[in-house]
Amino acid sequence: MIGNFPLTRMRRNRLNQMTRRLVAENKLSVDDLIWPIFIVEGENIETEVSSMPGAKRVSIDRLGAYIEPAAKLDIPALALFPVTSKEKRDPTGTESYNPDNLICRAARELKKQFPEMLLIGDVALDPYTSHGHDGIVQNGYVVNDKTVEVLIKQSINQANAGIDIIAPSDMMDGRIGSIRQALDQAGFIDTQLMSYAAKYASVYYGPFRDALESGGLLKGDKKTYQMDPANRGEALAEVELDIKEGADSVIIKPGMPYLDIIRSVRDKFDIPIVSYQVSGEYAMLMGAIQNGFLQKEGAILETLLCFKRAGANAIMTYFALEAAKLLKTQ
Ligand code: PBG
């Protein structure tokens, strides 16, 4: 203090917008965004997911028009999620490696219309199994190694259809190494692996399971393969293994309640990190926004920027299109 005056005035760096721009440590841009899309069988369908206001299930014939604004705004990547009808589901998820399944048809169509846009394919069996689990169930337990064999077929199938980035979200052990090897042997040496390395058994996936119509089918929970929300060190071990096995980038999921995990991984590893602001986080924010409890633009841009501050390189979010529009007009 000099007399009554503080020597350091932190507020000088916040004085006006120009100064704030100059000193900002992090910045959100359209380059950071991945837009998850739900694809449904049939024609002329574009229906809202009831627990995710604004997010839609879209049929392939309408995908072009639905994606066009995202392509125009230069969003770099889409993550595709198929809604598989009950008749096509079975205990071992065979539809996952059908070359004409929904995701493969959608990928071929999207590549035709938007050749440069990156397509991310989720690899796990839950959209295809009659019991809603991510793998093959024996005696009530999701068995690891047999599941990995199917995940390999699913990955090759997606790569064949033009998916650029394989994103295993199943949490089986050893699948990154096995899928990498199989992709390389099949000649897909440039197909990227974006591993859901730290994926927690979370209540926040509820609305997503509604969207995929797999929630009602699921018997029990996913706690024997997805991580315990109590653990942080275990996430570092998972990431380390996936890097060793050949992951090109890692996903941490969910997002907002797990910013500490993003920071821990950022401090320890030099690998691109993707955070996933999942369906339940979207539902929570949209619920508050629609009730007038939160201001929409502010809520979207602040939550996404916080992922950057925590250390993420990219963000999967159902707000991607909205955010891209807001960033353009800012
Ligand atoms: C499938 C998968 C899930 C999500 C992404 N991939 C659901 C789950 O594991 O039950 C959740 C995404 C979201 O909630 O937005 N394995």
Is 199 one of the annotated active-site residues of the chain?
Answer: yes
- Choosing from 88, 111, 112, 199, the catalytic residue is 199
Look-up: residue for tokens 């991984």? 265
Q: Which of 166, 208, 277, 285 to mutate to test the pocket of ligand 1 (most atoms within 8 A of CB)?
A: 208
Q: Which amino acid is at 252?
A: I
pLDDT in tens, 172-200: 999 999 999 999 999 999 999 999 999 99
- Is 328 annotated in the active site? no
pTM of the model: 0.97
Q: Specify the pLDDT at position 171.
A: 97
> CATH code for 27-329?
3.20.20.70
| Ligand 1 pocket, residues with Cβ under 6 angstroms | 122, 124, 126, 134, 169, 205, 208-209, 222, 278-279
CA of 8 to the centre of ligand 1 (A): 48
Summarize the confidence of residues 110-137 as an average pLDDT: 97
Which of 126, 128, 258 should be mutated for ligand 1, with most atoms under 8 A from CB? 126
H runs (alpha helix) in the chain: 17-23, 60-72, 102-113, 144-160, 175-185, 206-212, 233-245, 259-268, 279-290, 296-310, 320-329
Q: Both tokens of residue 225?
A: 């393969």
Give the length of the chain. Answer: 330
Distance in Å, CA 55 to ligand 1 centroid: 15
Evaluate if residue 4 carries a pLDDT over 90: no
Burial class from Cβ neighbours inside 10 Å (0-12, 13-18, 19+) for residue 203 reads: exposed
Residue 330 has pLDDT above 80, yes or no: no
ipTM of the complex: 0.96
